[in-house]
Structure 1
Amino acid sequence: MSQMYRSKTLNQISESDIGLQLKIAGWVENIRDHGGVSFIDLRDMYGVVQVVLRNTDLLNGIKKEECLSIEGVIEQRDEETYNPNIPSGTIELEAHKITILGKVYRDLPFEIATSKEIREDVRLKYRYLDLRNRKVKDNILFRSEVISFLRQKMSNMGFIEIQTPILSASSPEGARDYIVPSRKYKGKFYALPQAPQQYKQLLMVSGIDKYFQIAPCFRDEDSRADRSPGEFYQLDFEMSFATQEDVFRTGEEVLTDAFKKFAPEGYSITEAPYPIISYKQAMLEFGTDKPDLRNPLRIIDVTDFFQKCSFKPFHNKTVRALKVHAELSKGFHEKLLAFAQSIGMGGLGYLEVKEDLSYKGPIDKFIPDEMKKQLLDLAGLESGDVIFFIADTEELANKYAGQIRNELGARLDICEKNAYRFCYVNDFPMYEVDENTGKIGFTHNPFSMPQGGLEALTTKDPLDILAYQYDIVCNGVELSSGAVRNHDLDIMVKAFEIAGYDEETLKEKFGSLYNAFQFGAPPHAGMAPGVDRMIMLLKNEENIREVIAFPMSSNAQDLMCGAPNEVTEQQLREVHIKMRK
């Protein structure tokens, strides 16, 4: 290390240095003037050391957060002044000389120590100051450790790290692209990749057996607490000659090992193999394809039962139920009803099961006496249970039941604590009807292999076809999506034809894969766990921006550097763009 500014970093200084003349460097965290003697808490990336100034003239003009180099002698602190909260709490440096390396020219926009309590837009505008806060900085250092571990793990498992292009071709599927105008080719555009999807498949065609990268992905999407607008990173991997089960084993090994290494102390982690839940089962039992398995409640289908009852509001509707074993107050029911109405439900029916297994509640009179025992058996009801009913179209009944399940789990405080609960959700539908156009389109990834291959595509109703497509979900957060890829040209042509793309469009829009699959493509499959989401879960952060060094705001703005910004007329001319009024 150069001795010009510092002899050691602050974490390297210990009692063994007592009596030595050293130089240290860092930022002024705090200044305390005790009359005749003053103190500076000096902070660098690694730690904090107390500096004592017996010559208080040295303090003249020094402000908090200035960057200093201080020369002096390490000495033992008086025992009554030991600070057990920092590793260097038994020593201090007596300052003989102070050099200001970086001045503070104006008032700080916030106190560094409490920056996490400041409004987010101000934090992001001065993110370089926010990152001086130990908790904020530690998230970023933690992120570096996790990514380093993932890289090492994938390499040890025989995967080759390969970088794929950032400037690529725009694709008509998926989210909105970020497009980049070409200077050289007038009227043409590059796109930033939403994922390295086509490139990694082309690597498989090229004979690379196992590929991975920590891949930047760009999608012009709106922000959510668990989704960063603009860009995010994923652990992207693909395997040749692989089945769905091969990918499952790889994903489990990587995530289980990563979570075991980095989870907070005392946390329980799902052991491999992870539970596998079909999309259909997930929507029925959890009301979502992102089930949180920490919540013990399961949704029950009581549709057929209520078609035989005289309760008109449930007729010709999908009816879902949730039972809890709890004594619920009138106030609890009122609050839960208010929540149900806030998410769009018309109401929330319920029954309480009394000691003699009879019911008490608003819809009891609509259930014929001879059917009451049937409901007990159907829902596994016992004395002291309360069962709630949700009725609507199938899609809305699933959605509302899932939200009521989450709300009951939170209000009754019955969800497992200190646990990471993983599962696979698979067997997604290949196609769905577009709400706006009424036409059939791909549900998710158009490059997935349909279950049943060409025969299914030619003989089955498209809406009945399932894809070899899967997600990894952890604690209700989608951590990864993946698929067995469609590597057969005939199947690919037919799959896209059903979604409304003729072969010419397929050649034009997905020409690279269309051409490559004519030269002996191997079967291949993969997935891509989200790195930002993984770290957000491991750090128990509610907001994904807390684990990204320089995140955009929720409005997709870089408040620090001022992006997006305007460009000059000359820059626009060079890329052949004219702004519309």
Structure 2
Amino acid sequence: MGEQLSGMKRTHMCGELTLEDVGKSVIVMGWVQRRRDLGGLIFLELRDRTGLIQIVCSEQLSKEAFDKAQHVRNEYVLAAAGEVVRRSDENINPNLETGNIEIYVSEFKILSKAETPPFMVEDRNNVSEAIRLKYRYLDLRRPSMQKILMTRYRITRIVRDFLDKNGFIDIETPLLIKSTPEGARDYLVPSRVQPGKFFALPQSPQIFKQLLMISGFDRYYQIAKCLRDEDLRADRQPEFTQIDMEMSFVEEDDVIALNEKMIARIFKEILDIDLEVPFKRISWQEAMNRFGSDKPDMRFGMELKDLSSIFADSDFKVFKDAVQNGGSVRGINVKGAASMPRRQLDELVEYVKTYKAKGLVWIQMLDDGPRSQISKFLKDDEMTQVVNVMEAEKGDLILIVADKNNMVVYDALGHLRLEMGKRYNLIDESKYEFLWVVDFPLLEYSEEEKRFVAMHHPFTAPKDEDIEMLDKDPGRVRAKAYDIVLNGLEIGGGSIRIHDTELQKKMFKVLGFTDEDAEARFGFLLNAFKYGAPPHGGIAYGLDRLTMILTGTDNIRDVIAFPKTQNACDLMSDSPSEVSKEQLDELHIKVNL
């Protein structure tokens, strides 16, 4: 049974003690990292969230403390009182922040015993992620994990301080809301008091923050939980956190300028990096044409080149058909990669097929001229033009994708560009390249649903000069939308919102909603518009993704205290789980498997 504190109060954190504390009587508390027994001396490394300190139990100094230390094992929880002593030069531990001091223990309490943990609580372990997640409370004791979560806290503190100084008010919005499915699937919560009816968990606070603008709060923010029932991947979780904000009486430039200052402040305080503002801006169309992505990684070149005009009347039917059916032929030049073996080239062909491309054409720039699997189908002048447009030299490798759907070409080549950048070490991992992507299409056509859908959400305002095209050519309408991209990751996105009732109704009509559909889903927002809505806009950042970048991890589960696996399970608490028949009966629910 563990001892009680009995009035013993911690005076210092383990990792905060320095040479300036030599001679002081201190009390430290924490977990045992390791134990060494040298006969008359027992050395214990004590760990808390600030770091490690070595404590020394001596038979001569305190027989009682020494006897207790005989029974201590890893992860026992201790309280130790004693004097801070400078280590002799030969005993200094350069691998420890506090390696030039130690504590000679005069009083010692074992507050809690511990079983042998399933893995060593240290950064140098290769335990599987499944085991780490099952014993998350142990995993979170590791210094690297604690550093990540403390950095996350610092980011939110900086954000709160910045927004507070810029006139923003932190307002909470509901977690039980009306289901308004648009995008990912909602998580549904059955109502016990209204049988057969359901709440939804919010995919974002979008509608409520617009209502707060209509309510006259002008500047709102929230560190908000968002929940989406969607397929997961390395940088996605079913519940995640947004830095959410909204502003009234603003245009795009106002939102962008304020957010550049906030991001610059975060990077200065967290990484001591001075960012150059304003950040670059390019249109969505330029981003797609140059990089095949609306979140391009700007740390290296290898830009896409349009080869369509070369093949508009070509004898090579694959390329000609793509161009004549409204698509395109585009390529990238991988400098110095001409010697890539045929086996690897074939692997690249399969790689682009995962992005719906039907194939990949390669041209190797060899000593005796260009060589390709389609050389016999191309005229000499066509090959020459391709080489010229691609600015290819001896030793280069040209990779080409063609399709009647431009988005397939962009997607395949955009991912191939990133893959080649990684393979050939073209990406400077020490750089932080920010970019605003603006002028997104307002709508995109869904072949599955045979209708236009909102590229962002149905409340995004169209560009003023494009409004007249909503009726006759909605696919060409651009949005007052903006994404902030860092090193090929979208870290935030937002837009200026529609604040006019008639324009919002027209938007719903273009999206295929009947008046009844719009009223059923968004009636409370439309009603609010009737009573005077200011021009407003905002942005939301993925706090988890931003923390990933600032802490140098590529796994979103590392930056969330208690995350879910890729099949949306919590291995530690064993959820989701079955519930009792009584609970289901109360909710008037029958499970039909």
TM-score normalised according to structure 2 size: 0.91
State whether structure 2 residue 561 is matched by structure 1 residue 549: yes
Which of 546-555 and 386-395 deviates more?
386-395
Q: Which residue of 2 aligns with 1:145?
A: 154
* Change in 2 beyond 3 A, CA 1:384/1:29: closer
State whether structure 2 residue 46 is matched by structure 1 residue 42: yes
* Change in 2 beyond 3 A, CA 1:74/1:335: same
- Per-residue deviation, 1:381: 4.2
Q: Distance in 2 between matches of 1:292 and 1:159?
A: 32
Q: Which residue of 1 aligns with 2:325?
A: none
Tell me which amino acid in the other structure corresponds to 1:139. I
Q: Distance in 2 between matches of 1:575 and 1:538?
A: 44
SS in 1 for 2:294: coil
State whether structure 2 residue 282 is matched by structure 1 residue 277: yes
Q: Which residue of 1 aligns with 2:102?
A: 92
Q: 2:414 aligns with which of 398, 402, 415?
A: 402
Tell me which amino acid in the other structure corresponds to 2:119. F
Tell me which amino acid in the other structure corresponds to 2:245. F
Q: Distance in 2 between matches of 1:170 and 1:347?
A: 41
Q: Distance in 1 between matches of 2:298 and 2:189?
A: 42
- Per-residue deviation, 1:203: 0.8
Q: Which residue of 2 aligns with 1:165?
A: 174
Tell me which amino acid in the other structure corresponds to 1:47. G
Measured against aligned partners, the alpha-carbon deviations of 1:510-531 in whole angstroms (never above 9, x if no partner) come to 1221101001111111110111
Contact 1:159–1:211 under 8 Å retained in 2:
yes
- Per-residue deviation, 1:232: 0.9
Q: Distance in 2 between matches of 1:348 and 1:179?
A: 43
**Equivalences for 1:165-314 in 2 at 5 Å?**
165-228=174-237, 230-263=238-271, 269=275, 271-314=276-319
**Equivalences for 1:341-420 in 2 at 5 Å?**
341-344=350-353, 347-353=359-365, 359-371=370-382, 374-382=385-393, 385-393=396-404, 394-420=406-432
* Change in 2 beyond 3 A, CA 1:146/1:18: same
Measured against aligned partners, the alpha-carbon deviations of 1:98-136 in whole angstroms (never above 9, x if no partner) come to 2111111x3211100147521111111111111111011
Q: Which residue of 1 aligns with 2:136?
A: 127
SS in 2 for 1:419: coil
Q: Which residue of 2 aligns with 1:10?
A: 14
Structure 1 stretches of 5 or more lacking a match? none
Q: 2:82 aligns with which of 48, 53, 72?
A: 72
Tell me which amino acid in the other structure corresponds to 1:423. L
Q: 1:436 aligns with which of 441, 448, 461?
A: 448
Q: Distance in 2 between matches of 1:421 and 1:340?
A: 30
Tell me which amino acid in the other structure corresponds to 1:68. L
SS in 1 for 2:401: strand
- Per-residue deviation, 1:371: 4.6
Which of 459-468 and 394-403 deviates more?
459-468
Contact 1:139–1:546 under 8 Å retained in 2:
yes
**Equivalences for 1:101-120 in 2 at 5 Å?**
101-104=111-114, 106-114=115-123, 117-120=126-129
Q: Distance in 1 between matches of 2:467 and 2:24?
A: 81
State whether structure 2 residue 30 is matched by structure 1 residue 30: no
- Per-residue deviation, 1:347: 4.4
Q: Which residue of 2 aligns with 1:511?
A: 523
Q: Distance in 2 between matches of 1:353 and 1:13?
A: 62
- Per-residue deviation, 1:341: 1.3
Contact 1:457–1:495 under 8 Å retained in 2:
no
- Per-residue deviation, 1:145: 0.6
* Change in 2 beyond 3 A, CA 1:572/1:381: same
- Per-residue deviation, 1:247: 1.5
State whether structure 2 residue 549 is matched by structure 1 residue 537: yes
- Per-residue deviation, 1:504: 2.2
Q: Which runs of 4 or more aligned residues in structure 1 lie more than 6 Å from their structure 2 counterparts after TM superposition?
A: none
Contact 2:51–2:143 under 8 Å retained in 1:
no
Aligned residues: 574
Contact 2:74–2:116 under 8 Å retained in 1:
no
Measured against aligned partners, the alpha-carbon deviations of 1:362-414 in whole angstroms (never above 9, x if no partner) come to 44444434455544553344555442211223222221111221122122222
- Per-residue deviation, 1:289: 1.5
Measured against aligned partners, the alpha-carbon deviations of 1:408-448 in whole angstroms (never above 9, x if no partner) come to 21222222331111112222222233232323332331111
Contact 1:295–1:406 under 8 Å retained in 2:
no
Contact 1:324–1:387 under 8 Å retained in 2:
yes
Q: Distance in 1 between matches of 2:22 and 2:254?
A: 58
Q: Distance in 1 between matches of 2:458 and 2:125?
A: 41
- Per-residue deviation, 1:561: 1.9
Contact 2:223–2:241 under 8 Å retained in 1:
yes
Q: Percent identity?
A: 39
Contact 1:268–1:419 under 8 Å retained in 2:
no
Q: 2:57 aligns with which of 40, 49, 53?
A: 53
Measured against aligned partners, the alpha-carbon deviations of 1:26-83 in whole angstroms (never above 9, x if no partner) come to 1111001123322111112222111112224232321110101123333332321112
- Per-residue deviation, 1:319: 1.0
